[in-house]
Chain A
C-alpha cells in the first residue's frame, strides 16, 4: 500500500512541501512538479530540510518542469530521480492512490 504525492509549490513560497513530507508514509513517492521543482534543487536553504524530511520516501522531479525553468540537471539534489510524463503516469498507476498537495 503506497501513495503517490505531488507538490507543485516552491518551498520558499509556502509550507506545502513540508506538510506533504510530514504526512507521507515510509515508502511513498513524492513528485515535485510545476513550481514544486525548486524544492528539488541542491545547495539552497531548503535542501537539507527536504533531504532530511524526505529520507524515508522516494523523491522524484518532473524533468520538463526542471528544464522549463532553466535549472541545470546538475543542480537537482542527489537521490532525486527525474521522470517524464509517461513515467508520472506509470507511478500513478502503480501506487494505490494519488494525493495532490495543492
Chain B
C-alpha cells in the first residue's frame, strides 16, 4: 500500500462544548503516521478552535489548543481557514494562534501553517480530496 490519498479533516464545531474538536485532533495526530496528503479545514464555528488565549483551568476542562502548534512536528502543515467564517464571527487572523512549521525543503525556515481562503477557495479545497472526514 504505497498509494497516497488526499485526506481532509473538516472542523465546523467550536471547542469544549462538545468533544468533536478534541477527538478530531486525536485522529489527525494518529493519521499523520500514515504518510498521506493531509489538510485541515476550519470553517463555521470550527474557526473558534484556533483562537489564542484559551484557558480552561477554571472550567475544569482539558486545554487541547496547544496541540495545534505541534502539528508541524507531525508534518501536518496545511490548515485552511475560511475568511468569511472569521468575518461573520468578528475574528481576524490576529485572534488565532500563530501556528508554524519548519519547511525541510527550504533550510527549515519557519512558515505559517494557516492558509486563509475565501469560501470559494474552501470549496475548491474540499472538491480536491479523496477522503473527507467531518467532525
Contacts and interface: CB of A to CB of B under 8 A. Distances in A.
B127 A25 contact: yes
Interface stretch (B57-65, B71-79, B118-126): B118-126
Contact of B10 (A1, A15, A22, A99): A99
Contact of B132 (A1, A24, A98): A98
Given A97-B130, A97-B131, A97-B132, 15 more contacts: A1-B127, A3-B126, A19-B43, A22-B119, A22-B123, A23-B122, A23-B123, A23-B126, A25-B123, A97-B129, A99-B126, A99-B134, A100-B132, A101-B134, A102-B134
Q: Is the interface of B mostly helix, strand, loop or mixed?
A: mixed
Given A15-B44, A99-B126, A23 B119 contact: yes
A50 B131 CA distance: 26
Contacts of A97: 129-132
Contact of B44 (A19, A98, A99): A19
Q: Is the interface of A mostly helix, strand, loop or mixed?
A: mixed
Contacts of B10: 99
Given A19-B44, A25-B127, A102 B119 contact: no
A3 B134 CA distance: 14
B12 A3 contact: no
Contacts of B122: 23
Nearest to B88: A15
B134 A100 contact: yes
A22 B127 CA distance: 13
